[in-house]
Amino acid sequence: MVTTSTAPKIWTRETGLVEKRDVWTAMKRGFRSRCPRCGEGKLFRAFLKTADNCSVCGLDFTPHRADDLPAYLVIVIVGHIVVPTILWIETNYTTPVWLSFAAYLPFTFVASLALLQPVKGAVVGLQWALRMHGFDDNPPDGIPPV
């Protein structure tokens, strides 16, 4: 039988004072390309490059790890808009193939580009609100930075 001894946690007033982070507010602010904490600073310095930190509140954006999730979400969102629309048009109307490609492909491309930055901002806001990937005030010891 293995026994482990753990020191009891001592709860003080300071341990209970944790910054409140509302998930929906942070995601809405990120969707608008704003800082998830204050909602005023810019989240991006380029189209998909996040800024190093917020110019207003100083929140460090470098720990975010959005990776490919925004692209997958954009594919799902645009696919759920485009596919039913194409099926409805193609079953109810007879359109030439060249007209179909001339309409569907540019719409899909523009919709994907238009949603990519807002969705990435919402993912970064979600990560901040849930204290993921280094957005925690007290990250665990022994985990090397990525």
pLDDT in tens, 73-115: 999 999 999 999 999 999 999 889 999 999 999 999 999 999 9
**14-23, 46-55, 88-97, 113-122, range with the lowest pLDDT:** 14-23
Burial of residue 1 (number of CB atoms within 10 Å: 0-12, 13-18, 19+): exposed
Which residue did the predictor score with more confidence, 144 or 82?
Answer: 82
When mean pLDDT is compared over 17-21, 22-26, 59-63, the highest value belongs to: 22-26
- Nearest CA to 55 out of 65, 64, 45 is that of 45
Q: Quick one: pLDDT band at residue 131, thresholds 50, 70, 90?
A: confident
Which residue did the predictor score with more confidence, 104 or 17?
Answer: 104
pTM of the model as a whole? 0.79
In this structure, the number of other CB atoms found within 10 A of the CB of residue 5 comes to: 4
**19-23, 95-99, 118-122, range with the lowest pLDDT:** 19-23
C-alpha–C-alpha distance, residues 91 and 95, integer Å:
10
